[in-house]
Structure 1
């Protein structure tokens, strides 16, 4: 599963040290990813360090006993029951004509919680938070949540884009939402500078907060490889999926023109996917389905010229899976005609070819489309917050290279070096003095739910260990009553990956305890079952199910507009 991001543009003329506002007013905003200088040797070193940290993290999290994992699972069940009671109390808010935002009881001002982002962590907060206890305002340029694990399917038309989206107001009609980006944070005044989105339309404004939740995720990174930003497509949001779908069909139409030579046709129909994680593998599988089940019928003479190549810098694809499933995944992909190229890296991407460094030498591969799923970098806002908080800089210096892309947090997800009023979740957060958790939707969603319950139970986040502000505030609807908040514990339930042609791999577990490994058709059935259940609303479940049936019966839509 992949993890969503809420992109935030760079601020204009900001002092990184103070993060004070230097100018308010409309102005251009730089939405392009920041370029990075890196040599091929540096890229290899970064890859080795990344895999070493992933292995160490997996080993570290498996030290927990089965009893601890079971206790965590039981606590999650009781928390879910508590959330269900809260959702029942919120039903009148969906009725026409009902007041959606309740008034403050007793005239006292509720704490204002500002959430940056609409990804998995932010969406979980919006779903679970109790608006009678706190005032919540979500700020993001994107007013919807994306079920990111199905972006690969949306990029080839297996499901439609809107089937995997939910408007943030639909997630919880009692919260507030502002469409904009956070340009800077004043920690002393507890104020944000918000730039309305799209930029340049309205003037910037200040937004005060009592609690700030940073859930802006990460953004795609070129890893310093020249030409990636200009010549590759990413797969991180709906716009990326649209571009990929349009480019694939355009390449087939261009290759079908009589003026094209066979060499040009082969180049146009060569699709390179860089990155052998779940995103890269699932996209290869979906693209293979698209070609074999749909495009072959309409372009029969072009089908033999199609090449799908998966390039991965490690020795095995799906590095987060077990060794048996890694081998099974590679065999499954290769049996479908997908070329898997491991222990290889990209040194440069040109408009019509990609330069590849392999163990046995270099090669230039002519390509019609290159999809980059090989790295992520921190948001500019997170980097600026690092510069403004001395403790964050100290922690970044003591950790591995690249750790400034995330905010260091304590066991309760409070940003280190703050007074407890700033929390960071999801991909943009990292536990201090611990190996990083996987950058997955599963982690982000659990962290978002954890923070929402801290807010619902009204814990005092300024204390070293968060305690209840008042026992009288803890009403009978809450099942798990504790005077001190338990720290966040990630409960790993496993991972899934679709590989095409109704084949998948699945690794199930309970925390650090492996439960089962499945591959093939059984894993595919499990994959579809889980993805239907995990859809965030009944509407999305119905739409995704109908899309699956429609694409099976009538094929994927090939129109381009």
Structure 2
């Protein structure tokens, strides 16, 4: 988009009135195309970092004023890492953009504006933000599948406040069970930790909790260890269904050796404050329930209704191969509206809702918008389509063991190196499982940390945990 022509007032001598360089830059910036980014997750944070703010007037709207390094969220829920190790303030990206801590309630496509509500306590009312280009990166919510009681009684693991609540609840359960007037049967109920969902989030949380109980809580609550049980429930036939089947089998066996109960092919019919109700109507008491079964659309995505195309199964926004939101005919892009990350998928190629997808999309769209801001005879259609490059999947299994799957999702399961006789081995065959995979897992996440501060904090806290154990203070 071309900037509007700037006409300076002339003096009597026909000389232009002088402007300071700072004032000129501010005026040019005020007349630049307005880009509004909804969300501060992987995609939104990447765009904020890479977008050329000299050519765009950038506004970010998010209900939280920080970015979360989600792959290590499970580690913070038990104290392996502290919360500030995995967060980055949005405003640390500089002062050349506007940020509003608010939720985006509705997108007015006709008037090209976003209606927002502040999430700052004590600030009432709504406000509208106009846009020339809109980038929707609002993520997704945990999917409860409309099972009664889940929203009221389960804990989710999507953000730092969720991890804080889980951490406090685990310690509450042990303190509660140690009270003198609690019966053995009640102790067993309180110390049953249930995890619903056998994907990476559920598996990694179960592994971290198992480490916490075995390495730290055992020392201070030795009389309660016989009462502790940890169960992972999943409706699928195996844990980690998107991984290579050999690695998934290794994870299942590893959990069972650690005493973690694995209940696959098990559906949940309801949840009360004290019990899980299974599909066969059996009831299983619990003290903590963590729900990690998948994702569903946010209210903003749902509010688009029939103005935009949606995936019928997941409810995610449908985009073309250049990340433009498609209209109800599923062919025509909406003008200057893009969607990235967990809230969107491509119409001709379904994408997993993972951090690496969102990050790659953020890099791609930043490049497209930067080129669009520089060129006058170039359009988005001239850019090559977005192509996702799968970099592998990892999951921590506890006890300094992990699995790493470097093949693309949906690829046929590879034979392990123990059955190939040493022929045709890939990198994944060497690091696929065990201690070496754990080292690869930790090294990868350390490398991916987005700031020098966290590149220091993360290994420091890993070292402190190894030497002194996890903090068991309840606050």
TM over 0.5: yes
Q: Secondary structure at the match of 1:523?
A: helix
> Does residue 1:319 correspond to 2:241, yes or no?
yes
The CA RMSD measured in Å over matched residues stands at: 2.4
CA contact (8 A) 1:255 1:269 kept: yes
Counterpart in 2 of 1:366? 285
Counterpart in 1 of 2:441? 527
Query: Structure 1: 5+ residue runs without aligned partners?
Result: 1-98, 461-467, 474-481
> Does residue 1:499 correspond to 2:397, yes or no?
yes
Q: Secondary structure at the match of 1:525?
A: helix
Structure 1 residues 144 and 356, CA gap change in structure 2 (3 angstroms): same
Structure 1 residues 355 and 100, CA gap change in structure 2 (3 angstroms): farther
Structure 1 residues 102 and 530, CA gap change in structure 2 (3 angstroms): farther
Query: Structure 2: 5+ residue runs without aligned partners?
Result: 1-20, 328-332, 412-425
> Does residue 1:293 correspond to 2:215, yes or no?
yes
Q: CA deviation at 1:124?
A: 0.8
Counterpart in 2 of 1:429? 344
CA contact (8 A) 1:134 1:455 kept: no
Where does 1:348-367 land on structure 2 (aligned, <5 Å)? Answer: 348-357=270-279, 361-367=280-286
> Does residue 1:485 correspond to 2:383, yes or no?
yes
Where does 1:320-469 land on structure 2 (aligned, <5 Å)? Answer: 320-357=242-279, 361-389=280-308, 392=309, 396=310, 400=312, 402-403=313-314, 405-417=315-327, 418-432=333-347, 434-458=348-372, 468-469=375-376
Q: TM-score, normalised by structure 1?
A: 0.74
Q: Secondary structure at the match of 1:516?
A: helix
Where does 1:75-90 land on structure 2 (aligned, <5 Å)? Answer: none
Count of aligned positions: 434
Where does 1:64-463 land on structure 2 (aligned, <5 Å)? Answer: 103=25, 109-198=31-120, 201-357=123-279, 361-389=280-308, 392=309, 396=310, 400=312, 402-403=313-314, 405-417=315-327, 418-432=333-347, 434-458=348-372
CA contact (8 A) 2:74 2:205 kept: yes
CA contact (8 A) 2:137 2:341 kept: yes
Structure 1 residues 190 and 301, CA gap change in structure 2 (3 angstroms): same
CA contact (8 A) 2:139 2:298 kept: yes
Q: CA deviation at 1:127?
A: 1.4
Q: CA deviation at 1:459?
A: 6.3
Structure 1 residues 545 and 117, CA gap change in structure 2 (3 angstroms): same
Q: TM-score, normalised by structure 2?
A: 0.87
Q: CA deviation at 1:376?
A: 1.9
Deviation readout 1:108-149 (Å, 9 max, x if unpaired): 821110000011110110111111121211101101000011
Deviation readout 1:350-385 (Å, 9 max, x if unpaired): 11111123xxx4421111111100132211111111
Structure 1 residues 348 and 450, CA gap change in structure 2 (3 angstroms): same
User: Which deviates the most, 205-214 or 270-279?
Assistant: 205-214
Q: Secondary structure at the match of 2:148?
A: coil
CA contact (8 A) 2:104 2:117 kept: yes
Q: Higher relative CO (CA 8 A, sep ≥ 6), structure 1 or 2?
A: 1
User: How many Å separate the matches in 1 of 2:373 and 2:428?
Assistant: 38
Q: Secondary structure at the match of 1:556?
A: coil
Counterpart in 1 of 2:416? none
User: How many Å separate the matches in 2 of 1:347 and 1:242?
Assistant: 27
